[in-house]
Amino acid sequence: MPIPTVSTAFMEAVFEYLADRGVDEALVLRELGLVDKQQLVINTRIALRDYERLFEIGQALTGDKYFGLNMGTSPMPRTWGLVSHLAMWWGTPRSACV
């Protein structure tokens, strides 16, 4: 059975969110036992278990008990693409499509 994976854009979103909160990428990598975030990438994807670990580290480093929830409410057009862009600029899903 293949290892469950997620898009590397999701990984980038975690690093971006942490950076916006003053958490240095090198510190996150040190917590992971890595020197470069590309070490997380497998065939242009990241293992789900590593992605989940990023959330655990994010929670620990920020002290935010609701790290994943709060990250999910932050629009990040550079990492989420068109859907995030539309959500940020249009009042309703219907108006974004018309």
Distance CA 19, CA 44 (A): 22
User: For the whole model, what pTM was predicted?
Assistant: 0.77
CB 31 within 8 A of CB 43: no
State the chain's mean pLDDT as an integer: 85
pLDDT at 81: 59
Answer with the residue of higher pLDDT: 11 or 96. 11
**Cα separation of 76 and 17, whole Å?**
8
pLDDT digits (tens, 9 = 90+) for 13-26: 899 999 999 999 99
**Residue 26 to residue 29: CA distance in whole angstroms:** 5
**Model pLDDT, residue 96:** 59
The pLDDT of residue 89 is 63
How far is Cα 84 from Cα 70, in angstroms, rounded to an integer? 15
Can you tell me whether residue 22 is helix, strand or coil?
A: coil
Rg (CA), the chain: 15
Does residue 9 or residue 78 have the better pLDDT? Answer: 9
Encode pLDDT of 44-60 as tens digits: 999 999 999 999 999 99
Give the pLDDT of residue 14. Answer: 93
